[in-house]
Structure 1
Amino acid sequence: MDNDWIRIGTAQLSAAINPLGAELSSLRDGDGRELMTDADPRFWTGRAPLLFPVVGRPYRDTIRIDGTPYPMKQHGFARRRRFEVVEATGTRAVFALHDDEETRASYPFAFRLEVAFAIAGATLSVTVTITNPAATPLPASFGFHPAFAWPLPYGRERGDHRILFDADEPGRLKEIAADGTIAPREVDSPLDGRVLHLADALFAHDALVWAPVHSSAVRYGVDGAPQLDIAFPDTPMLGVWTKPGAAFVCVEPWHGIADPEGYEGDYRDKPGVFAIAPGGAKVIQLTVALVHPQGA
């Protein structure tokens, strides 16, 4: 139920966040039109899960730390945990998750994961701060997974929507193996210059994965109609995903990625994992701005 969702907003943009997972669950324009997924259970009931402490699927749903195996499901446990509501005002809400006995059974580290949502004008900012309270380095990875409405609610055809990257992306894409890990093969990029023309066929075999991604922002929508500018200055990888026929597309900035196929190395050494110094913190940001065509 959504009666415990925390709501923030301005006259131009409003959001609702579910304390379960600190998940952005609704984003509406000033006229109340929904900009996010309809969460149709025929496809996917997620909305914008936070991916921590892993992004993607660990090989055999297991991570290994100093030779000890630990169970870890795809995208980690944060999305299934209830966060403390630290602050809630008209335009800002802050949530926090700490390690406990349950988290340490799969991820044997002390941590604080804080997520701050704020709206100014027509821009939502999400600031994630991962803090290491321990005396030894904290290995971690983190990803965003927001699912935006496809089509956006502005009367344009689904097939006219595209994602425009803000930099050239000359490399090939990672291929996802049958078990959800990253295959050693790579695939040709579907970009037309800097443009990804959205179509269900792109996602017949799972997500598109840029690792690395050179862009730090994309624009999603249709020219001549309101669009979303999605900026991710702190994440070096990007996934784009949907299930064919669904009314959403996920734009997923990641600092981390699924295990390489067959990976049995240490969690600290897998691609995308970073280390936070004792007493230190890492900040990862995402912004989503609703932009209207000039003259509108």
Structure 2
Amino acid sequence: MTDEVGPLPDLIRLRSAGLTASINTFGAELTSLRDAGGRELMTDADPAFWTGHAPILFPIVGRLNDDVLRVDGREYRMKQHGFARRQTFSPVARDDASVTLRLSANEETRAIYPFDFVLDVHFSIAGATLAIEARIANPGAVPLPASFGFHPAFAWPLPYGRPRDAHRIVFADDVPEPVERLAEGLIAGDRPSPLNGRTLHLADDLFADDALIWNPVRSQSVTYGADHGPQLRVDFPDTPQLGVWTKPGAHFVCIEPWHGHADPQGFTGEFRDKPGVFKVAPGRERRCTIAITLER
């Protein structure tokens, strides 16, 4: 669902009694999350499938039609999921259990996205929970149109001895049909829901046609893992869409809370009018959060 990211890492490590997180300043990307026993809970980043770990999606989520972003009649070229994951963030605050990484508008970003912004990504770790909060601030004089998404790739199977086909994702609340489908990266209508009640039983053939997309998701939490043993709870109170994605045969599954999504097929309008885009008023900010908790 996304292409490769990242030069050699400059890692920041956060620790608690229950978890250790490693974060790359390139892209503000979570690259590792280990339990107290040192077991890896995230993707193995096998280059045969996908080398990403948890890219930050900004200022778009998914693909634009023909990779074109339109602002006030002008056209700008932007690759899938935006540019934040290919930019180096600067630490602006740090201690043993938290760090805030910042990306501000610069010459390179303004060439493809003609807006001022400050994107802070704050990571904090406590006990068995890693929390990530993105703050999208508008220091400019005009409304800031944007989308934002998280894209963490968790180990499938998790490292607790259960087989791959025993893993599932369970929604905390009922999620009505249908789900959206993609064609060449663009929203192309609906497909039947693969849920059994609130449960998505993971299998490779679910992803033969790319991601599963709930829009809106109508649940702010899911639990991922096998039918027995430790599981991951993922809470996302501020994002109205959810994508679930992998490549068949890969050793990861992505649980992706989004505020925004790919262009619908045929969309050629202004970016600010695209479905899923929010607008930040001058001098204000928008926050999106995700919390990942290891439950035993």
Deviation at 1:87, TM superposition (A): 2.1
Instruction: Give the 3-state SS of the residue equivalent to 2:291 in structure 1.
Output: strand
Paired AA for residue 211 in structure 1: N
- 1:243 aligned to 2:247? yes
- 1:180 aligned to 2:180? no
Paired AA for residue 203 in structure 2: A
Instruction: Give the 3-state SS of the residue equivalent to 1:221 in structure 2.
Output: strand
Q: 2:199 corresponds to which residue? A: 195
Paired AA for residue 114 in structure 1: D
Deviation at 1:171, TM superposition (A): 2.0
Instruction: Give the 3-state SS of the residue equivalent to 2:272 in structure 1.
Output: helix
CA distance in 1, matches of 2:73, 2:211: 31
Contact 2:9 2:26 in 1 (8 A): no
Which of 160, 166, 176 is 2:172 aligned to? 166
Q: TM-score, normalised by structure 1?
A: 0.97
Paired AA for residue 182 in structure 1: I
Deviation at 1:175, TM superposition (A): 1.2
For structure 1, the 5+ residue unaligned runs are none
Contact 1:2 1:18 in 2 (8 A): no
Percent identity reads 60
Contact 2:59 2:83 in 1 (8 A): yes
Instruction: Give the 3-state SS of the residue equivalent to 2:101 in structure 1.
Output: strand
Q: 2:22 corresponds to which residue? A: 16
Paired AA for residue 178 in structure 2: R
Q: 2:13 corresponds to which residue? A: 7
Q: 1:264 corresponds to which residue? A: 268
Q: 1:275 corresponds to which residue? A: 279
Which of 44, 55, 64 is 1:58 aligned to? 64
Deviation at 1:88, TM superposition (A): 2.4
Paired AA for residue 24 in structure 2: N
Deviation at 1:271, TM superposition (A): 1.1
Q: 2:111 corresponds to which residue? A: 105
Q: After superposition, where does 1:115-264 map in structure 2 within 5 Å?
A: 115-177=121-183, 179-183=184-188, 185-264=189-268
* CA deviations over 1:90-130 (Å, ceiling 9, x no partner): 11011000001110111000000000000010000001000
CA distance in 2, matches of 1:175, 1:208: 7
Contact 1:219 1:229 in 2 (8 A): yes
Paired AA for residue 139 in structure 1: P
* CA deviations over 1:145-172 (Å, ceiling 9, x no partner): 0000000000000000000001111120
CA distance in 2, matches of 1:140, 1:170: 27
CA distance in 1, matches of 2:86, 2:8: 16
Paired AA for residue 53 in structure 1: P
Which contiguous aligned blocks of 4+ residues in structure 1 show a shift greater than 2 angstroms?
1-4
Deviation at 1:3, TM superposition (A): 6.1
Aligned Cα RMSD in Å? 0.9
What is the aligned length? 290
